[in-house]
Amino acid sequence: MPSEVKLGPPGCITRINDYVWEIPTSYKEGMRVPARIYASKLLLDLMDAGVFEQVTNVASLPGIQKDAFCMPDGHWGYGFPIGGVAAFDPKEGGVISPGGIGFDINCGMRLITTNLTIDEVKPKIKELVDALYKRVPAGVGCQGFVKISKEEFKEVMKDGAQWCLKHGYATAEDIECIEERGKIKGADPSKVSETAIKRGFDQIGTLGSGNHYLEIQEVKKENIFDEKIAKIMGITSPGQIVVMVHCGSRGFGHQIGTDYLRTFLEVMQKYGIKILDRELACAPFESPEGRDYYAAMACAANMAFANRQVITQGIREVFSKVFKKTLKEMEINLVYDVAHNIAKLEKHKVDGKVKELLVHRKGATRAFGPARASDLPDKYKKIGQPVIIGGSMETGSYLLVGTDQADEETFASTAHGAGRVMSREAAKRRFRGDSLQKDLEKRGIYVHGATMAGLAEEAGGAYKNINLVVDALEKAGITKRVVALKPIGNVKG
**pLDDT tens across 421-450, in order?**
888 899 899 999 899 999 999 999 999 988
**What is residue 493's predicted lDDT score, i.e. its pLDDT?**
77
**What is residue 6's predicted lDDT score, i.e. its pLDDT?**
46
**What is residue 109's predicted lDDT score, i.e. its pLDDT?**
97
Q: Are strands 364-366 and 413-415 parallel, antiparallel or unpaired?
A: antiparallel
Q: Percent of the chain having pLDDT more than 90?
A: 88
Q: Is-above-0.75 flag for pTM?
A: yes
**What is residue 37's predicted lDDT score, i.e. its pLDDT?**
98
Catalytic residue among 212, 340, 416, 448: 416
**What is residue 11's predicted lDDT score, i.e. its pLDDT?**
54
**What is residue 10's predicted lDDT score, i.e. its pLDDT?**
44
Residue numbers of the chain with a pLDDT score lower than 70:
1-11, 139, 141
Task: Reply yes or no on whether 167 is catalytic.
Answer: no
**What is residue 3's predicted lDDT score, i.e. its pLDDT?**
44
Q: Could you tell me the domains of the chain?
A: 108-492 (3.90.1860.10)
Rounded CA separation 404/407 (Å):
5
